[in-house]
Structure 1
Amino acid sequence: MLSFLWDAGPFTATDAMAVGYTRSTTIDLIDELIDRGLVRELPNARTAGEYRKGRPARRFQLDAGFRAVIGVDAGRAHVTATVADLVGGVLASHHATLRPADDRAESRLAAVQRAVDDVLAEAGIAMDQVVALCIGVPAPVDVDGVSPAGRDGFWARMNPGLRDAFPAVPAVEVMNDASLAAVAEGAVGAGRGHANYVALLAGERMGAGVVIDGRVLRGAHGGTGEMAGFDYVEAVGGAWGLGYRLAEHAKADVRHGKVSAQSPLSRLRTDEITGRTVLELARDGDPDASRIVERIGGMLATIAAVINSFFDPSRIIVSGAISEGAQQLIEVATRQLPERVDLPAPVIVGSSLGADVVSTGAIFQAIQAAREVVLRLPAPARGDARALRPGGDEASGR
């Protein structure tokens, strides 16, 4: 019954009978969910101005604003924490910049905890109203929320026991950030309605969230979608992202005199040359920038061909901040890809979710976790009417 009404919007007992219970059982279940603080009764059709004749039916709706979920994007250089209601309505979001050089485990753990505290304070929500929390990290994560150390311990530093850092929250999950990008794309992005796709996070470094037959793949150690294998692909040369490659190739061309004096690239300082800059100049017709875009677009075609050979997706979604200007790269890759694959070539598309894709995926993953645990939580005390709302005045209680 809860699964039905979570997605139903306003409904009547007659609507809810589609689950398969008798009317009396259906009404009993709805009343129990009301007592548990999960459903609220709405004004009937007459009060709402929709009643014409006959006895107005009782109307109900999931009480999405009584409990909360939190999604965290814990990147190497930033932490973004977002708190939302049970259907994904964002109540507050908090962003903090980190120093990449200080990636000690204790520093990251404290930064993530601080971001959660700050976003709850901004929303005016108590920790005991949080049902589920999901954290995305730039590391493989297994089903137990643990990351392998990696060659230099980097992965373990990115995930320093985060699953155990919030003991007061009933459901805490840690996932690879690219996998959460795939969750977001499937929920509200370019993967919606598709069972086989790969979300490619490709700004500074590459990572892939892989969805096959409608399921996000993890692997034994959470390493499905790790791009370290591209270290051994000569035409790609590593797991660097598209934005990084654009910038580095532009800097190298300038340094080696391959950029004309008339190109704006030749007049920029090294620290001013970014992937976005190269894309913008290419879009404006600069031939040197366009040549670099053609080169990196060819690399994207190779990357897509390798992904296609392993996972056979119907589409590859370029996700993350780079997606906002990646159409030129996608056009190049789409043109070159068919000659590099044996299987039918996947469609390459850009994401519409931008830099918030990991945070969005974390929210939807937390909602899924909330659906699985919320019936095991104690019913709220009668008269406890704390409602979640943006900018609410409920004290955080921490």
Structure 2
Amino acid sequence: MPASPSTARAINDRRALHLLQEEGPLTAGQLKALTGLSRPSVADLVDRLRGAGLIDVVGESGAERRGPNARVYGIVADRAHLAALDVRTGGVGVGVADLLGNPLAEKTLAVPADMPTDRAVAAAVALLERTAREAGTAPLHTVAVGAPGLIDPASGELRDSASLPLWHRRLVAVLQERLPATVLVENETNLAAVAEQRLGVARGHDTFVFLWLGEGVGAAVVLDGKVRRGASGGAGEVGFLPVPGTSGLPSATGCDGGFHSLVGGGAVCELAAAHGLPGGPDGPAVVAAALEAGERADPFLDALAERLALGAAAVVAVLDPGCVVLGGETGLAGGKALAARVEARLAELSPLRTEVRAGELGGGAVLSGALLIAREAAQDDLFAPR
């Protein structure tokens, strides 16, 4: 059954908006060529989208050509504004962007562990409001929050966790009550994987596993282009993965004895010290220093690669992703040198050929991923047929 005229118009409008998003400003002639529509249909489409305030003339295609056929159309970037929050145990980062994802402002705030919950929430909300105000934005349309912990796949809410500060969960509830904007919540590691897939080293990969390596350890599973969250939102909780080389086994209440005990930030520092290398404030600093130390740091880097390969081998045996990305601050610090060592050792542990890549975005991937999902949600709402 053929689509009705109104449905066909809606499909064509969404297609044109997608092209303007992906290809940049276009003339009516370019839209005609890319959509296959007739010239009158493109003219009607442009009129509809301009009337809705979604696109406008942003220039002309050449100095020698004037008139309607030379006009270049683009999405109205300030039609809506977006915000993202990267919520960590020790602080929060905020980014504000326009509808096209162009960054407008970014700020961070430390939240001491002993700060009362209400004060921590108020400080985080004030940071968001101040950042949006200084960016000169109108009321925010969509806000995406990246947080550690499990996101309930049914409700989309951050689940209770004894290991995380109470202000994390309270913050999301306050934002939803206080802001007129749509507020989305997603696991931080999943957001980092989205950013690496769209902007970083996983571009072109529909299936891969992203290992977050920082103070904590986590994973995101991307299969056939989609982040897989699992039945309870816990897919990728590899910190609890039982692996050889630990002093015990993890439990339902803590990941001590799991993969976290081998490659978490504290474990990386202890491993470096055991190899006679100078300590550092955290795992990424230790790894960066080791790579600069030359051959004397090789035993430490080989031992770290061995540990990472153990966890990666368990994940690869179940999922066969073809690609593992070492992300987070430690993955960025280790770079291609550490990734190559892990890939070589993984090839000895698993018959499944797996490429290991170093993430390109580091800790900033969470904020970037949050802005990406905020942009998609806002565009889905604004570009929907009315």
TM-score by length of 2: 0.82
Q: Is contact 1:74-1:136 (8 Å) kept?
A: yes
| Structure 1 equivalent of residue 293 of structure 2 | 284
**Are positions 1:330 and 2:339 aligned together?**
yes
Distance in structure 1 (CA, Å) of the matches to 2:357 and 2:343 = 9
Runs of 5+ consecutive residues of structure 1 not aligned to the other structure = 379-398
The alignment yields a C-alpha RMSD, in angstroms, of: 2.7
Would the alpha carbon gap of residues 131 and 60 (structure 1) be closer, same or farther in structure 2, given more than 3 Å must change?
same
| Structure 1 equivalent of residue 4 of structure 2 | none
Q: Where does 1:1-398 land on structure 2 (aligned, <5 Å)?
A: 1=13, 2-17=17-32, 18-19=34-35, 21-45=37-61, 48-51=62-65, 56-102=69-115, 104=117, 106-127=118-139, 130-143=140-153, 144-150=155-161, 152=162, 154=164, 158-160=168-170, 162=172, 165-167=175-177, 168-230=179-241, 232-235=242-245, 237-238=257-258, 239-240=260-261, 241-251=263-273, 253=274, 259=276, 265=278, 274-285=283-294, 287=296, 289-327=297-335, 328-342=337-351, 344-375=352-383
Higher RCO (CA < 8 A, seq sep 6+): 1
Would the alpha carbon gap of residues 95 and 366 (structure 1) be closer, same or farther in structure 2, given more than 3 Å must change?
same
Secondary structure at the aligned position of 1:115 is classed as helix
Shift of 1:157: 5.2
Distance in structure 1 (CA, Å) of the matches to 2:213 and 2:312 = 12
- Matched pairs, number: 355
Structure holding more helix per residue: 2
| Structure 1 equivalent of residue 254 of structure 2 | none
Would the alpha carbon gap of residues 222 and 95 (structure 1) be closer, same or farther in structure 2, given more than 3 Å must change?
same
Q: In structure 2, what residue type is equivalent to 1:88?
A: G
Identity %: 27
Q: Could you list the per-position Cα deviations for residues 60-107 of structure 1 after superposition, in whole angstroms to 9, with x for gaps in the alignment? A: 111113321112111111211111122221110011111135484x45
Distance in structure 2 (CA, Å) of the matches to 1:192 and 1:124 = 32
Shift of 1:203: 0.8
Shift of 1:27: 2.1
Q: Is contact 1:247-1:275 (8 Å) kept?
A: no
Q: Is contact 2:215-2:283 (8 Å) kept?
A: no
Secondary structure at the aligned position of 1:124 is classed as coil
Distance in structure 2 (CA, Å) of the matches to 1:278 and 1:229 = 23
Q: Is contact 1:279-1:293 (8 Å) kept?
A: no
Would the alpha carbon gap of residues 272 and 44 (structure 1) be closer, same or farther in structure 2, given more than 3 Å must change?
closer
Q: Is contact 1:149-1:155 (8 Å) kept?
A: no
Distance in structure 1 (CA, Å) of the matches to 2:173 and 2:232 = 15
Q: In structure 2, what residue type is equivalent to 1:110?
A: A
Q: Could you list the per-position Cα deviations for residues 267-289 of structure 1 after superposition, in whole angstroms to 9, with x for gaps in the alignment? A: x6xx65754135413432262x4
Q: In structure 2, what residue type is equivalent to 1:244?
A: G
| Structure 2 equivalent of residue 387 of structure 1 | none
